[in-house]
Amino acid sequence: MSKWLLYSSVLLAGMFVHHPTVFAMSAGQYYYFISDKCIPKGPQAPEERGVVTPDVLLFEVLPAGISDYMITVNTAALNNYNEEGQDYLTSLEQEQAYTAGLVTDNAKYTQHDFMLQREAIGLKELINVLNGFSQHQADKGYFYKKLLSVTNPAARFKAVTRVRLTDVAQVDKMYLSEYTSHYYLLDSQGSASDTPFIKVDHNKALRGNIHDTNSPYRIYTKHGVCGERWVP
């Protein structure tokens, strides 16, 4: 059994003990839907809606056993990442762990977390990974300036990448509320800092180019993006 399958089994067992109710998800492909947190916006007549809605696959939810799921994100839609960065994020999905759905503070909403990565990596590996991510961030010098502050070439980081979907009580829709990589600097004892040394918001990159700058619907992708399940 791989470390991730073992981790998933233990995690799910713990979740079932403390949260006996497991919240089901609708498996399928989820395409971009013009909305405000999955509340429909823009024209709703099928033909008019089709004209203004970009045809963008965001993610796919796959069943993976009893009360378990897997997620695949359309990393090819990360237009600002190079091919190596897209492939790297896709590779992290191979041994993911799913956290059974939990009710949020808003009792109508259910939160589903997919842990794609939780491991220690070295400085060289971190640099290589970041080189594949958003060129906008690279242009602004964010990665470069942060990495320059690392004076120990043997520094290590805890890498945590996850996807969070939120069911906001809209039929066949799921809100992509998080898709991030956090890198926490480890001290000499191997303990991670409380705040991430570098945070990469893949969600922002995924939704950034869905609408043109002058589109009236661009405002609805500012803080998140909703996927609607394709139903044949």
| Statement: residue 5 has pLDDT above 70 | no
Q: What is the pLDDT of residues 52-84, one digit of tens each?
A: 999 999 999 999 876 689 999 999 999 999 999
Q: Please give the mean pLDDT across all residues of the chain.
A: 87
Question: For 3-161, where are the alpha helices, taking DSSP H only?
Answer: 3-18, 46-52, 83-92, 123-131, 135-140, 142-148
Confidence band for 11, pLDDT divided at 50, 70 and 90: very low
Report whether 69 contacts 112 (CB < 8 A): yes
| Residue 167 confidence (pLDDT) | 94
Report whether 80 contacts 96 (CB < 8 A): no
Residue of higher predicted confidence among 106 and 123: 123
| Residue 138 confidence (pLDDT) | 62
Task: Tell me the whole-structure pTM to 2 decimals.
Answer: 0.86
Helix or strand (DSSP H, E) at 202: helix 202-207
Facing residues of 228 across strands? 31, 173
| Statement: residue 20 has pLDDT above 70 | no
Confidence band for 10, pLDDT divided at 50, 70 and 90: very low
Q: Which DSSP category does 191 fall into?
A: P
Q: What is the pLDDT of residues 173-198, one digit of tens each?
A: 999 999 999 999 999 999 999 999 99
